């Protein structure tokens, strides 16, 4: 499936989040986020299974010895 932000996807996300959007809002959102979304998904990150959000803290705090 192509990585693409569509108004339809945004409309479904908004419904799931119980946020009411005007009829033309999903299209506006799709245009607004397209550059960020496209850049990020183009990378097709393949992260190791062991990597989790708090891996950041492990890397960050590994620097404490240097400062």
Partner 1 sequence: MTTSDPALLTLTELAAAIRAKQVSSVEITEALLERIAAWQPATNAFVRIEAEEALALARAADEALARGETKGPLHGVPLAHKDMFYSAGKPVGCGTKLREGWIASTTSTAIARLEAAGAFRLGALHMSECAYNPTGHNPYLGHAHNPWDGTRITGGSSSGSGAAVAARLTPAALGSDTGGSIRLPAHFCGVTGLKTTFGRVSRANALPLSFTLDTVGPLARTAEDCALIMAAMSGSDPLDPATDGMPAWNAAKATRSPQGMTIGLPSSYYVDDLEPEVAAALDRALETFAELGVNIVKVDLPDQTLVASAGLIILAVEATSTHIAGLRERPEVYGDWVRARLENGLAYSAIEYLDALRWRGPALAAHLAAIEGVDAVIAPASREVAPTIAATDVGGPNAEATIIAITRFMRPVNFLGLPGLVVPAGQGETGMPIGLQLIGRPFGDETLTALGTAFQSVTDHHKRVPSLP
Q: How far is the CB of 31 from partner 1 (least distance, A)?
A: 8
Contact set for partner 1, span 35-64 (CB under 8 A):
35-37, 39-41, 43, 45, 47, 51-61, 63-64
Q: For residue 25, what are the contacts with CB-CB under 8 A and spacing of at least 6?
A: 10
Torsional sign, CA 17, 39, 5, 48: negative
Distance CA 39, CA 34 (A): 8
Interface map 1-30 toward partner 1 (x if CB under 8 A): ----x---xx--xx--xxxxx---x--xxx
Q: How far is the CB of 37 from partner 1 (least distance, A)?
A: 7
């Amino acid at each position: 499936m192509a990585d693409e932000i569509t108004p339809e996807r945004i409309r479904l996300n908004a419904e799931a989040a119980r946020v009411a959007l005007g009829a033309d809002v999903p299209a506006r959102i799709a245009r607004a986020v397209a550059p960020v979304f496209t850049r990020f998904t183009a990378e097709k990150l393949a992260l190791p299974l062991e990597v989790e959000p708090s891996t950041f803290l492990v890397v960050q705090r590994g620097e404490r010895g240097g400062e």
